Structure 1
């Protein structure tokens, strides 16, 4: 697998991308794809005048076998040592990190599908915003039912990258920015259910019984859970607009974990009815619900004869993980991150799983 290094030049509302070098002699590579946050990468390579001139901040690092994820170099560290040699550490995040350079300004009130809401936010702040534009940026492919669900919300001054991935986690979708020629495309998508709890897709099961689960740890904590929100909006005293929100049936008794959400700064605009305003408050309440904290760390076989990463399953998919020795099974758990590592010992995969509703 080769690394491709591209220069990225902004030409007003467009970008120009050109291949600067191809590299296949790095010491190690970490490629961290995340579902609910921007992924990152690290290249560790012998330092030479040529490599220092190639790996420059602002340039793009791509993999010859990955057409979806492109890193932008943000940090360089050069270390020289007479005995151990000279090395360059190149780090950065994937192209979605460009959205971190913008906030939502001014206030946007949106009503419609989540796809339409994201389009509106990006159009006003990134795509058609004059000097605030991200050159070459546009919407790409949208897939997944979660993006067609509807909501009404009001957002202002949030960092766009943080807001977008917070929204993704709320609805169970994800976003990725990829390079498409001389354009930046923002795709919205969702994961596929490949767990034992469905029969539409082939099952993906990581288990010690199948020798594809190399190590396994699991912990659960209910202390952080919040499953019922009281949301108070604009107004004073008893006149404050208020509502409640929970996901599914209202929890009761010992199963109820309440949270207060203060939205007094969310104004009710003149063209927004009371019912529509309460829907805006409910959307905010949904963002403040917290599931029981679980931690599941595993190492899985990188060269499994049963399943191949990025062919049979992908980050964002729902799979099954079981440890038969201790009778533990997570029948439907989401793969929310995968660190792919290449070094002198070969290739390894370190997944991150999270139990979802």
Structure 2
């Protein structure tokens, strides 16, 4: 597997991408794909005048076997040592990190789908925003029912990258920016259910019984949970607009964990009815609900003959994880991150799982 290093040049509203070098002699590579946040990478390579000239900040690092994820170099660290040798550490995040350079300005209100709100935010702040444009940026493919759900939402002044992945966490979708020739495409998508709780897709099961679950740890914590929101909007005193929100049936008694959401700065525009404004407040309430905290760390077989990563299953998919020795089964758990590591010991996979409702 080779690394490809590209230069990225902005030409007003367009970009020019040019292949600068191909590298296959690095000491180690970490390729961290995340579903609910921007992924990152690290290249550890022997330092030479040639490598220092190749790996420059702002350049793009791509993998010859990955057409979806492209890193942009953000940090370089050069260390010289007469005994251990000279090494260069190259780090950065994937191309979605470019959205961190913009905020949502001014206020945007949308009555439509989640796809509509993302399109409007990107259009006004990234795509059709004059000197605020990210050159070559446009919307790409959209898939997944979660992006078509109806919503009434108002948003302003948030950092776009943080806002977008916060929205992804709320609805269960994800976003990724990929390089497509001389263009940057922002795709919206969702994971596929491959767990034992469905029969539409082949089942993916990681288990000690199948020898594809090398290690396993699990912890759960209810302390951070918030499942019922009181949302107060504009106005003063008893005149403040207010509503509540919860997902599904209203929780009661010991199962109820309340949170207060202050949205006094969310203005009610002239063309927005009271009912529509309350829907905007509800959407904010949804963003403040917190599920019980769980931590599930595992090491899975990188070269399993049963399932191949990025062929049979992908980051974002729902799978089944079980530790039969202790009778612990997670029948439907989401793979929200995967760190691929390449070094002198070969390739390893370190997944991150998150339980679903």
**What is the TM-score with the length of structure 1 in the denominator?**
1.00
CA distances 1:260-303 after superposition (whole Å, capped 9, x unpaired): 00000100000000000000000000000000000000000000
Q: Post-superposition shift, 1:196?
A: 0.3
Q: What is the root-mean-square deviation of aligned Cα atoms in Å?
A: 0.3
Shift of 1:259: 0.4
SS in 2 for 1:272: coil
Aligned to 2:213: 213
Q: Distance between the aligned counterparts of 1:141 and 1:155, measured in 2?
A: 23
Q: For residues 71 and 196 of structure 2, what CA distance do their matches in structure 1 show?
A: 34
What SS is found at the alignment partner of 2:69? strand
C-alpha distance in 2, partners of 1:115/1:265?
24
Deviation at 1:137, TM superposition (A): 0.1
Can you list the C-alpha shifts for 1:152-188, whole angstroms capped at 9, x where unaligned?
1111100000000000000000000000000000000
For the residue of structure 1 that corresponds to 2:96, the secondary structure is helix
CA displacement at 1:206 relative to structure 2: 0.2
Q: Deviations for 1:235-270, whole angstroms, at most 9, x for unmatched residues?
A: 011100000000000001110000000000100000
The Cα shift of 1:340 comes to: 0.1
CA distance in 2: counterparts of 1:78 and 1:347, whole angstroms:
25
State the alpha-carbon separation in 1 of the partners of residues 81 and 153 from structure 2. 55
- Within 2, Cα distance between the matches of 1:11 and 1:111? 35
| Consecutive aligned runs of 4 or more in structure 1 exceeding 2 Å deviation | none
Deviation at 1:356, TM superposition (A): 1.6
- How far did residue 223 of structure 1 move? 0.5
**Corresponding position of 2:297:** 297
Equivalent pairs, count: 357
Residue 322 of structure 1 pairs with residue 322 of structure 2 = yes
Residue 125 of structure 2 corresponds to: 125
Counterpart in the other structure of 1:44: 44
Structure 2 residue matching 1:325: 3-state secondary structure: helix
Residue 310 of structure 1 aligns to a residue in which SS? coil
Query: What is the rounded CA distance, in whole Å, between the counterparts of 1:118 and 1:241 in structure 2?
Result: 26
CA distance in 2, matches of 1:111, 1:122: 16
Paired residues for 1:46-85 under 5 Å:
46-85=46-85
The whole-number CA distance in structure 1 between the counterparts of 2:5 and 2:224 is: 43
SS at match of 2:321: strand
Which string of whole-angstrom CA distances, capped at 9 and with x for unpartnered residues, describes residues 283-329 of structure 1? 00000000000000000000000000000000000000000000000
User: SS at 1:57's partner residue?
Assistant: coil
Q: Gapped runs of 5+ residues in structure 1?
A: none
**In the TM superposition, what is the alpha-carbon distance from 1:334 to its structure 2 partner?**
0.1
After TM superposition, the structure 1 = structure 2 runs for residues 84-99 of structure 1, keeping only pairs within 5 Å, are: 84-99=84-99
Q: C-alpha offsets along residues 59-118 of structure 1, whole Å, 9 cap, x if unaligned?
A: 000000000000000000000000000000000000000000000001111110100110
TM-score by length of 2: 1.00
1:188 maps to what in 2?
188
Provide the secondary structure at the position in 2 that maps to 1:165: helix
The separation in 1 between residues aligned to 2:353 and 2:188, in whole angstroms, is 21
Deviations 1:106-163 (A, max 9, x none): 1111110100110000000000000000000000000000000010111110000000
CA distance in 1, matches of 2:113, 2:232: 24
Distance in 1 (alpha carbons) for counterparts of 2:155 and 2:237: 24
Q: What runs of 5+ residues in structure 2 fail to find an aligned partner?
A: none
Rounded to whole Å, the distance in 2 between the matches of 1:203 and 1:136 is: 39
SS in 1 for 2:119: helix
Per-residue CA distance 1:185-218 (angstroms, 9 max, x = gap): 0000000000000000000000000000000000
Using the alignment, how far apart are the partners of 1:311 and 1:111 within structure 2? 37
Report the Cα distance in structure 2 between the residues aligned to 1:288 and 1:317, rounded to whole angstroms: 24
Distance in structure 2 (CA, Å) of the matches to 1:139 and 1:224: 35
